[in-house]
Amino acid sequence: MNSSLLDREIRASSVSCDEDTLRLDLADGRTIIVPLQWYPRLWHGSHAERANCEIIGDGAYLHWPDLDEDLTVAGIMEGRRSSESLESLKKWLALRPVAS
């Protein structure tokens, strides 16, 4: 199945994260669970930042505004991990406020 077909057919109905996993509930009733470590910005985010997720594009895209992270449902289904470079991640981490 090519990704354009996935983009048209698979839609998120809800998303949640705990300390270790990203859980994606799909409109067709399936649930996908992937390691949070696949997405370093989510991994380094606080519980509140991870909970603030917007499902957009009729369920095809996920956006975490507090973490500047965007994922596609099709990408998660295909097992794609973050492609952010280590250098970019280090810059982002350096700009994050220090937890008190």
Could you read off the pLDDT of 37-68 as tens digits, one per residue? Answer: 999 999 999 999 999 999 999 999 999 999 99
Identify the pLDDT of residue 84: 94
Residue 24: is its pLDDT beyond 70? yes
Residue type, 95: L
Please, what are the domains in the chain?
3-95 (3.30.2020.40)
Of 63, 64, 60, 52, give the one whose Cα is nearest residue 77. Answer: 60
* Distances 95 to 67, 84, 88, 91 between C-alpha atoms, Å: 11, 16, 11, 7
pLDDT tens per residue across span 76-91: 999 999 999 999 999 9
